[in-house]
Structure 1
Amino acid sequence: MTEAEKARAATIFDVARLAGVSHQTVSRVLNDLPNVRPATRDRVEAAIRQLRYVPSQAARALVTRRSRTLGLIMTGAPDFGPSATALHFNEAAREARYAVIMASLLETDAASLRSAAELLVRQNVEAVVLIAARRSAVDAVQGIELGVPLVAVASQGAAMTHRVSLDQFEGARRATSHLVELGHRDIRHIAGPGDSLDAAERIRGWRAVLGANGLVAREPLVGDWSPASGYRLGRELATDASCTAVFVANDQMALGVIHALADAGRAVPGDVSVVGFDDIPEAEHFAPPLTTVRQEFDLLGRDALATVLGLLGDEEAADPPLRAPALVERASTAAPRSATDPAGALVLPVASTKAPRGERDPAGGPSR
């Protein structure tokens, strides 16, 4: 990279990280405002020179007065997880005496996202939070300098400077491990859309557990998060007599899978065990009640706000913890009736170490 390219790539947040200060302190130095210690000002100016940083108009115009207003951008369809996260972010912001201006986008192209973010900045928000379900949304905001912090609520696969997420990999690992512990050996996976960051992490967790147990990971079937896609793919799985278990990447698709298996005359969990993901409010009322992975979207929304508030202060805040979802065991999973290995020998189900049916916490003990 040339020196000119480095200059174009550097942002106000790069300067802040190098100097060990907040972005607002950098803004004070850029605007020659008071209340900056001489030693701090020297560090900031040295970082600016080292990075060859040329501030944008937005960075120079960054105001120091507090509007107590935050921007929130939601992308894609209003699925349960992103909607619940947004709801709890708004609630946490209200408790902290912040107002939230929201923008919802079905399209995640760079032009639409940039326009939405700039509109929020023109309304004097102090920070922008992006709830990004798809990789394209994260890619679209890379390199945008708004002059205010940008925090992404996105999965582990997102390369963002400021990001909060739940541990999708660990959640998938727990779901798949549960099926392995029950004795299942042919565990299929119905994944979310190919552009989904969460779906990619759940595939990775599923593959990791199968690989660690010497089991074959067949190519995942790909849905679109909807019950209809789960039903369509469930009909396909119903024709495969060797499949005794399926880990489905969200509860809505799991509902479609259970419906499809029932229509095909295959019992759940007698013939096929089904595990979902998210623990939507309806999951415990499925027929049978769904074993699933509970995501704490309320904590995710609050973590997003905590990250924003840390960035708005003069001191660096600790990153929020990467929270592991908990397995919730219900009636849609059970040990397989029997299976045979490639040599034809009878393989008995592995003794389960799980707690009595009900929920269990991340440590493995029953939580209720």
Structure 2
Amino acid sequence: MADVAKLAGVSAQTVSRVSNGFPGVVESTRQQVLAAMKELGYRPNSAARALKRGEFRTLGVILFNLSTTGNMRTLEAVATSAAEEGYATTLLPVTVPTQDEVRGAFTRLGELAVDGIVIIMEVHLLDTATVTLPPNAQVVVVDSNAGDRYSVVDTDQAGGAEAAVRHLLDLGHATVWHVAGPEKSYAAERRVDSWRAALAAAGRPEPQVLRGDWSARSGYRAGLALAADPDCTAVFVANDQMALGVLRALHEAGRRVPEDVSVVGFDDIPEAASYLPPLTTVHQDFAEVGRRCVASVLRQIRNDEAERGTDLVATRLVVRSSTAPPPPATAR
């Protein structure tokens, strides 16, 4: 900085003001300083500036599952929204969701110096007595039941699942089968509960739930069981990847979609419109989830005050070619 000041013929304080973007520097002087910086290859020390200001302009992200499309799209949305606000993101994957792993992740983020933390937590963890987050941490949790203790941003899982079931019932199907996600998943739990509630409200029988692990392979296994049941004419699948497996199994079994069996997914991944047939699915607005996560954690940072409660992002049903009225013999 002293070398830049000497070359530009200004004080070190002026160089500091220019490098930090402070106002009040005459434009010609600012250009003079910038030219000197360029000539000398000077770059402001971001760590030093962070220590001086007391902020690092970095958000930490703790993610418990890197394999699911939903989590990765949420991570992308958070990183994009943070960048738009001038913040970098530091990712710490947690392979085993335990108290020790969570504590270790917070410790590592503390060492890396972040201003706030976004936790993308699909599994049941924060609702157990053994797991707590640091009391002074500025935290936003995605997809969780911890709304009374932390700021939570979530997709309206229940509303999306209800719309999917109602769509199939309105087409005339007697009931709707369900391929659910893992039992420990918050999202899967909400979608199962909403599926059950929608069937109960319509006075329809509740078929046995089939479980998958979000993968197309698990959807295929469930699809084989569904294909063997002649009474099955409508299926709500808890995500689009499992729905892809269901479509394959039905096709191999000679069950036509949608003429014999209608299929609805959840997520509206970019590939869903290119399935055969194009998949009717529930659209999740991952970009809006990311924006609200970043907005919440930045409010907490700037106000130095934690937020509580759950902020739900609306879903919408996207109707494509994988759903139709049931075969005449089975129509209600």
TM-score, normalized by the shorter chain, greater than 0.5: yes
Residues 1:184 and 2:162 are matched in the alignment: no
Q: Is the 8 A contact 1:135 1:158 kept in 2?
A: no
Residues 1:265 and 2:254 are matched in the alignment: yes
Q: Decide which structure has the larger Cα Rg and report it.
A: 2
Residues 1:324 and 2:314 are matched in the alignment: yes
Q: Structure 1 stretches (4+) deviating beyond 6 angstroms? A: 315-320
Aligned length: 281
Counterpart among 263, 267, 272 of residue 278 in structure 1: 267
Offset of residue 140 of structure 1: 8.3
Identity of counterpart residues, as a percentage? 42
Which residues of 2 match residues 11-160 of structure 1 at below 5 A?
Answer: 65-136=54-125, 139=128, 142-145=131-134, 147-156=136-145, 160=149
The 2-side partners of 1:278 and 1:131 are apart by 16
Q: Counterpart in 2 of 1:27?
A: none
Unaligned runs of 5+ in 2: 1-51
The 2-side partners of 1:244 and 1:269 are apart by 9
The 2-side partners of 1:260 and 1:274 are apart by 12
- Please, what is the CA RMSD of the aligned residues? 2.3
Distance 1:105 1:312, change over 3 A: same
Task: Tell me which amino acid in the other structure corresponds to 1:115.
Answer: G
Residues 1:225 and 2:214 are matched in the alignment: yes
Instruction: With the length of structure 1 as denominator, give the TM-score of the two structures.
Output: 0.72
Give the match's secondary structure for 2:312: coil
The 1-side partners of 2:130 and 2:295 are apart by 21
The 2-side partners of 1:66 and 1:336 are apart by 59
Q: Is the 8 A contact 1:275 1:292 kept in 2?
A: yes
Give the match's secondary structure for 2:205: coil
Q: Is the 8 A contact 1:227 1:253 kept in 2?
A: yes
Distance 1:328 1:128, change over 3 A: same
Give the match's secondary structure for 1:288: coil
| Further displaced range: 122-131 or 324-333 | 122-131
Offset of residue 76 of structure 1: 1.7
Give the match's secondary structure for 1:136: coil
Q: Counterpart in 1 of 2:327?
A: 337
Distance 1:157 1:183, change over 3 A: farther
